[in-house]
Amino acid sequence: MLLHLSSSSSSTSLPSSTVLDPLFLYIDEHQNEFVQRLREWVAVKSDSNDHTLWGEIHKILNMTANRIQEMGGQVEFADIGTQKLSNGESVALPPVLLAQFERDPNKPTLCIYGHVDVQPAKKEDGWSTDPYSLTEINGNLYGRGATDNKGPVLAWLHALETYKASKQEVPVNLKFVIEGMEEVGSDGLDELTRQRNESFFSDVDYIVISDNVWVSKRPALTYGTRGSSYFFVEVEGPKLDLHSGVFGGSVHEPMTDVITLLGSLLDHTGKILVPGIYESVAPLTEEERKLYKDIHFDMEEMKNNIGVKSFLQDNKEEILMSRWRYPSLSIHGIEGAFSDPGSKTVIPRRVIGKFSLRQVPNMDPAVVERQVKEHLQEVFAKQKSPNNLKVMATVGAKPWVANLNNPEYIAGRKAVKVVFGVEPELIREGSTIPIANNFQEVTGKRVMMLPIGGHDDGEHSQNEKISRYNFIQGTKLFVAFFYELSKLQKDQ
């Protein structure tokens, strides 16, 4: 991982300010138009969770396509098949929008991924404003999709518009992959990527994703995400639920087994007790350790935000590492047991404990699955229970990590410096964003995550927002990123 970034770029081209200053001026002067366009986009209720609203997804995809076509791009609505609804009916999935512009072989080709569907939102869920009516309060633009992910998608389009309107040559070849099913698991996208790997993706140099947020008030580049496996530990006993008064004390209760199994997974420090689980975790290098020093993470502020008295670790670096670069295990609940308010005295016949294990490089989900299953089977054997144990796992996604020495990260760092005047924080995501790893695995292309959303944007929550500052400076960041990426190529 590179840490020393040459600060003098010995370019033969014009000084960056000559190129970028007029572009930035254009953005500042047109910011109200950009916000207005975001307002129009937010007004489209493209909630992918509700298939009766998929018409709205078609609408926003068309709006996106029109904008791209107006700027000279070619668009294709790629069919990704159908989905079976719970009533048995099959419905066509909203297509994925693939777009490209005339290609200059001397420029690097950047493929931008984004999505225009949103999470559900209703005023009565606790929104202070109408979620589908973008509302500016104290410099923040509140509305569903403002930061996730309509704002960033628009910022990319506005960055392109800025070059075009300013009669400046766009310094990179651009492609777009814009989908409408991200919030429900990106149905069909992986398959489409595979299908188009030899065509659409073949001349792509970089794939960039702007679908996450910073970790503090400072801009950030994201170079890693954790993977995830979800485990179901099912213990089945009697053929019917039993009365705990009548049978309590005489039968092996499935709940006792499941509680023991779940209780064997981790200790009070959060350490995972599954033998071998830490074996393939990438060792922490001195270089990587230093990365964590520079991150502005306010432990006290975070404690207040989430309302905890302490973390499992007692300093910033260890907290961040435990979230980003070490595996973790969380127990989520038990299906089949009594979960309502009140005091039912049932012995449930069949219960399913549920937990997930976040994985990091270089853990292999298949090995993890085997280790967890063996561990649980061993613990269960000691229970001498006549009940049946079944352990099932689903792999959500593999962990992903990028090399910070890659040109896209160097360009990103330079662009951040130009726009914000500071070095970006180099961060990871503790959560799982399958798209980054999926693109990288299928296409073999370099993938980067370049967020412009603020750390307090509240994706998926009530009162989602993007600040006007982040939306407009983010547009500048993308403009500068195009420039730095192409300059880097020329400099090489």
The catalytic residue among 117, 161, 179, 425 is: 117
The catalytic residue among 161, 179, 182, 369 is: 182
Residue 373: Cβ within 10 Å count? 17
Nearer to a second copy, 53 or 319 (CB): 319
Nearer to a second copy, 120 or 270 (CB): 270
Q: Would you call 182 a catalytic residue per the annotation?
A: yes
Q: CB of 116 within 8 A of CB of 46?
A: yes
What would the two tokens of residue 58 be? Answer: 């078609």
> Bridge partners of 350?
236
* 268 assigned to a ligand binding site: no
- Going by the DSSP 8-state scheme, the letter that residue 143 receives in this structure is S
Shortest spacing between CB 346 and a second copy, in angstroms: 6
Shortest spacing between CB 137 and a second copy, in angstroms: 22
> Bridge partners of 91?
83
Nearer to a second copy, 267 or 287 (CB): 267
Q: CB of 425 within 8 A of CB of 216?
A: yes
- Select from 282, 159, 145, 292 the least CA-distant residue to 211: 145
Q: Would you call 203 a catalytic residue per the annotation?
A: no
Q: CB of 101 within 8 A of CB of 74?
A: yes
* 148 assigned to a ligand binding site: yes
* 115 assigned to a ligand binding site: yes
- Select from 487, 469, 480, 479 the least CA-distant residue to 157: 479
Shortest spacing between CB 385 and a second copy, in angstroms: 7
Q: Distance between alpha carbon 441 and the CA centroid of its chain, in Å?
A: 16
Dihedral angle at the C-alpha atoms of 372, 378, 383, 388, nearest 10 degrees?
70
- Give the type of residue at 57: I
Shortest spacing between CB 387 and a second copy, in angstroms: 8
Shortest spacing between CB 318 and a second copy, in angstroms: 9
Nearer to a second copy, 35 or 347 (CB): 347
Q: How would you classify the pairing of strands 173-179 and 96-100?
A: antiparallel
Nearer to a second copy, 155 or 235 (CB): 235
Q: What is the DSSP string of 375-414?
A: HHHHHHHHHT--SEEEEEEEEEE--EE--TTSHHHHHHHH
* 252 assigned to a ligand binding site: no
Q: How would you classify the pairing of strands 173-179 and 109-115?
A: parallel
Residue 434: Cβ within 10 Å count? 20
Shortest spacing between CB 322 and a second copy, in angstroms: 4
Nearer to a second copy, 162 or 432 (CB): 432
- Select from 120, 118, 121, 114 the least CA-distant residue to 65: 114
* 294 assigned to a ligand binding site: no
Query: Which residue's entry shows tokens 């049932």?
Result: 346
Catalytic residues: 117, 182
Binding residues for Mn(2+): 115, 148, 183, 211, 460
Binding residues: 115, 148, 183, 211, 460
